[in-house]
Amino acid sequence: MPVSANAPQPQPRSSEAIIIVKAAPQLGGKHGETVCTAGITRSGSWLRLFPIAFRSLREAQQFKRWNIVSFRSAQPKDDRRQESRRVEHQSLVVTGDLPDNQRFGLINPMIKQSLNAEREAGRSLAFIRPAIRKFSIERRKEDEVRRDRERFAIYAEQSDFFLKPLVPYVPCPYVFKYEYDTIDGRRTGTCQDWETEATFFHWTKRYGEKTALEKMKAEWGEELPRKGLLFAMGTHSLYPDVWLINGLVQLPEQGQLGLAV
């Protein structure tokens, strides 16, 4: 049913979240370059924050995982997922970090067993501890990477973020995938975490691409799962039954929190 022009509009309100998910930038026709972002409240609830044009934020606003951020937001009219919030971009402020010794106690009760059950309950974000069977790295098609590179370059050239220059985003030539089991069955998903791509580029610059890929396979495929790895999962607005691996969090089962990925 169409929304009446005279219907009351959602009113922005102040909120706070601890950042967990910061996925790699994507280009969309409606909001341009944005970053899938999600966080949790101190009471253990998920919030999806959008549209976040991360690279256009002022340096003091640019957050990382475990940062505490405050912002003004309202319920979106075009996204029915209960966790979603439309953020006033310029209201976002980084106010601190969640201390290491508070992370396990906050996150451990939020870990779920069944993504199917979460979806049936109307939820679209969740932590799971998967049984990881395989980590793989696949090279993207050259024409696909070139097309993305050109689109980001055109967007950067046409954008005007208060006269702030925007360096074109360089898309990753590889995708990083996990095959894993949950009580719902076996799944395969692409890791969308921005830090995963950033690590690949950093290690390629430092060691060369071949060694970087070998190190990625060892660290992401063996070390992180061995130490205890959570997936921060989320559904897509257009495909509500599809769960994506939006972020990775290292959390040993015994309660001694390691470094976040």
Q: Is the predicted pLDDT of residue 185 greater than 80, yes or no?
A: yes
pLDDT band for position 192 (50/70/90)? very high
Output the pLDDT for position 253. 80
Architecture of domain 13-99: Beta Barrel (2.40)
Over residues 164-178, the mean pLDDT reads 90
pLDDT band for position 11 (50/70/90)? low
Q: Is the predicted pLDDT of residue 5 greater than 70, yes or no?
A: no
Q: Is the predicted pLDDT of residue 106 greater than 70, yes or no?
A: yes
Q: Is the predicted pLDDT of residue 112 greater than 60, yes or no?
A: yes
Q: Which of 257, 256, 186, 195 is nearest to 220 (CA)?
A: 195
Enumerate residues 6+ apart whose C-beta is below 8 A from 180. Answer: 130, 131, 132, 133, 186, 187, 188, 189, 231
pLDDT higher for 107 or 29? 107
Output the pLDDT for position 2. 45
Q: What is the pLDDT of residues 204-243, one digit of tens each?
A: 999 999 999 999 999 999 999 999 999 999 998 888 889 9
> Which pTM was predicted?
0.89
The half-sphere exposure of 120 on its side-chain side, counting CA atoms within 13 A, is 5
Highest mean pLDDT among 17-21, 75-79, 166-170 belongs to 17-21
pLDDT band for position 77 (50/70/90)? confident
Q: Is the predicted pLDDT of residue 168 greater than 60, yes or no?
A: yes
Output the pLDDT for position 149. 95
Given its phi and psi angles, is residue 197 left (phi above 0), alpha (psi -120 to 50 degrees) or beta?
A: alpha
Q: Which residue has the tokens 């973020």?
A: 161
Q: Which of 124, 98, 261, 108 is nearest to 193 (CA)?
A: 261
Highest mean pLDDT among 11-25, 84-98, 155-169 belongs to 84-98
Output the pLDDT for position 261. 46
What would the DSSP string read from start to end of the chain? -PPPTTSPPPPPEEEEEEEEEEBPPEEETTTEEE--EEEE-TTS-EEEEE---GGGS-GGG---TTEEEEEEEE--SS---TTEEEE-GGG-EEEEE--HHHHHHHHGGGEES-HHHHHHTT--EEEE--EEEEEEEEEPPHHHHHHHHHHHHHHHHH--BTTB--PPP---SEEEEEEEEETTEEEEEEB-BHHHHHHHHHHHHHH-HHHHHHHHHHIIIIIHHHH-EEEEEEE-SS-TT-EEEEEEEE--TTS------
Enumerate residues 6+ apart whose C-beta is below 8 A from 25. Answer: 33, 34, 35, 54, 55, 152, 169, 194
Q: Is the predicted pLDDT of residue 62 greater than 50, yes or no?
A: yes
The per-residue pLDDT of the chain, averaged, comes to 90
Q: What is the pLDDT of residues 127-157, one digit of tens each?
A: 999 999 999 999 999 999 999 999 999 988 8
What residue spans define the domains of the chain?
A: 13-99
Q: Is the predicted pLDDT of residue 260 greater than 60, yes or no?
A: no
Q: Is the predicted pLDDT of residue 182 greater than 60, yes or no?
A: yes
Instruction: Please give the single-letter amino acid code of residue 61.
Output: Q
Q: How far is Cα 258 from Cα 183, in angstroms, rounded to an integer?
A: 25
Q: Is the predicted pLDDT of residue 163 greater than 60, yes or no?
A: no
* Burial classification of residue 200, based on how many CB atoms lie within 10 Å of its CB (0-12 exposed, 13-18 middle, 19 or more buried): buried
Enumerate residues 6+ apart whose C-beta is below 8 A from 101. Answer: 257
